[in-house]
Chains A and B, each alone.
Chain A
Amino acid sequence: MAPKVSVELIERQASELQDIPVSRERGAELALEVDNFNRDVFEAARDRDFNDEPTGFLKVLLSRRHHERTT
C-alpha cells in the first residue's frame, strides 16, 4: 500500500521544489488528489515487468497495426 500524502508534503514541495506556493485550502485538495493518483499508479505498477519501458508502447502500436482487408 502506498503511503499517504499529507498537506504538509504538498506545501513543502510546492515551495521548496516547484516555487509555486499553494494555499492551505488548495493544498488539502491536492493532497487528496495526488494521494489518489499515487496510490492508483503504485498499485498498477505491480503489473510491471523488469523490462517494461516507455518505448514499449510504440513498439506494440506499430507491430500490432491494422492490415487492410483483402476482400
Chain B
Amino acid sequence: MIEADEITGMTLCDVAEAIRSRRISSTEVVEACLDRIEAFDSKINSFILVEREDVLRAAESADDDLARGVVRGPLHGVPLAHKDLYYRKGRVSTCGSKIMRDYVQNVTSSVLARLEAAGALYLGGLHMSEFAAGATGHNEHYGNCHNPWNTAHITGGSSSGSGAAVVSRFVFGAMGTDTGGSVRDPASACGVVGLRPTYGRISRFGTLPRSWSHDTMGPLTRTVRDCALMTSTIAGEDPNDPTCPDIPVPDYAAAMDAGIRGLKIGVPTNYFYDDVSEDISETLAESLKVIERQGARIMEVRSPDLVPHNRLMETISKCECVTVHAEWMRKRPQDYGKQVYNRIDAGLHIPATRYLEALSLRGRYLAEFMDAVFEEVDVLHTPVIPKSVPTIEEASYHGNEAFQQISALMTNLTRPISYLGLPALSVPCGFSKNGLPIGFQLVGRPFGEADLFAVADAYQNATDWHTASPDL
C-alpha cells in the first residue's frame, strides 16, 4: 500500500510507470490528488473547476483497460489539469473570464486530444488570468491565485493555476500557454519547470488566442524529464494549425541521456542583467557553476539590444488581442476586469502601419540574434524574473503607471524571446531573500528544445531544488 502523500509526491514519469506496471491503480492516484486538492486548494485557488466524478470514472476505465492488457500510451491513467483555455467539445472553457463562463466549445484542442490519446486523464480546469492577459495571477472573477510558498505573494501569470497546482502536488503536470512569458513566469515564481516551445512546435488549435503571432502551448512540471515527456506527446505537425510544420520531434530522452559535455552555454553581458537583484544574480551564478561541472563550457556572449524587441512584441500583442476582443469590448465592457481591459485597449489606437512594421522586422531581428548569439553558443542562460516575486497587494492595480511597472518586471526578460519565436525553459534554482523561488531561463535555437532539456536535466541531476515542496 502506497500512502497518498507518497503518490502525489511522485514525478509524472514515476507515477505513469507505477500505473503501467500496476503497482498502483489510476483510481488510487486520482483519489490521492482529489483528496489533496480538497484539503489544500481553498488556500491556493489553483482550480476553476475540478471534474471529480468524470475523472474518477475515467480512472476506473483506465484501470479496466490495464486489467485487460491494454496500454493506451505513455500517460495511461495519469491525471493532469490544464489552464482553463484548452477547449473540449461540448464543455465550457471559461478562459478565466465572466464572458465565457457559459460558452460551450465546439472543438477539442489538439493538445488535449493528443494527451488523451496518450492515456492522460482530465482532472479539471486551472486558474488563469482573465483571457490570459495578465502576468501576475490576479483575477477579478474567480479570485486571485496564491503562491503556495507564501500565499501573500503572486504566482505569476497568466498560467497561474498551472504553476501553483503542480508545485502543490495537486497534479503531476499541467498545460499552460506562453505569449509573453505566461508559462515561464509562473514556473519561475512557483518553483517548477516550464517550457515555452518554439513558435510552431506545438499546435495552438482549439485554444483561446491571445496574440496569434506569439502564442505557444507549454507544459509545467516538477522535473525536466516530465516536461520532455509531455512535450514529446503533444509536439509536431498539425493540419489544424498551419504554423506547425512537418519537422520531426526529436528523441528528447536520448538527448538528455547524451549529457552536455562540450555544449556551449552563453551568459549575456547586456540587457538581461541590467535590473537584476543581487540575490538572484548570485543564485544564477551558482547554477552556472553546476552546469559547468556537468561538462558544459560557460562563455560570455553579447546579444543585440533587446529593448526594441520588447516594445515590438507588446505592440503586436496588443493589436492582435484587441482584435479578438473588440466586439465583446463594445457589447460587454462591464464584464471585463479593469486590469485586463486596461491592458489591451491601447491596441485599438495603434496604427495598422506600426503593427505591420513590428511584424515585418521580426525576421531581420531573429537573424541578427541568431548571428550574434547562436553562432557563438548553443544555449543562452538568463534570469526569468529579475527581482523577488512581489506580493499580491504590490502587484494589484494601483493606476496605470504602477501597473505597467509590474508588468515590465514580470515580462521584460521573457517578451523579447517571444518576439523572436525561440524556445525557452524556466528551471527552478533556489530561493530569494523573501523565500520565494528563483528560476533561470534557457533559450535555444529554433526547434532546439532537446538542448534545453539536456542542460536542465543535467542541472537537476546534480541539484535538488526541483524536489522542494511548499508546506501547505
Binding site for B on A (CB under 8 A): 5, 9-10, 13-14, 18-20, 22, 26, 29-30, 33-34, 36-38, 40-45, 47-49, 52-62, 64-66, 68-69, 71
Contacts and interface: CB of A to CB of B under 8 A. Distances in A.
Interface residues of B, number: 51
B199 interface: yes
B360 A69 contact: no
Given A20-B326, A65-B447, A69-B255, A37 B350 contact: yes
B326 A48 contact: no
SS of A interface (majority): helix
Nearest to B450: A68
B39 interface: no
A69 B444 CA distance: 13
Contacts, number: 136
A20 B333 contact: yes
A48 B357 contact: yes
Interface in B218-250: 243, 245, 247, 250
Contact of A61 (B199, B348, B374): B199
A5 B354 CA distance: 14
Contacts of B446: 61-62, 64-66
B354 A52 contact: no
Nearest to B250: A68
Interface of B: 198-200, 243, 245, 247, 250, 255, 258, 262, 308, 311-312, 314-315, 318, 326, 329-330, 333, 342, 345-346, 348-351, 354, 356-364, 366-367, 370, 374, 400, 404, 421, 444-448, 450-451
A10 B349 contact: yes
25 contacts: A18-B348, A19-B330, A30-B349, A34-B346, A34-B349, A37-B318, A37-B354, A40-B308, A40-B315, A41-B311, A41-B315, A41-B354, A42-B354, A42-B357, A44-B358, A44-B361, A52-B361, A60-B366, A61-B200, A64-B366, A64-B446, A66-B445, A68-B250, A69-B450, A71-B258
A18 B326 contact: yes
Nearest to A52: B360
Contacts of B367: 60, 64
Contact of A20 (B329, B351, B358, B404): B329
B308 A44 contact: yes
Contacts of B342: 26, 29
A62 to B, nearest CB: 6
B360 A53 contact: yes
A26 B358 CA distance: 25
B366 A61 contact: yes
B363 A57 contact: yes
Nearest to A34: B349
Contacts of B359: 54, 57
A60 B366 CA distance: 7
Contacts of B326: 18, 20
A65 B354 CA distance: 28
B180 to A, nearest CB: 14
Contact of B448 (A30, A42, A66): A66
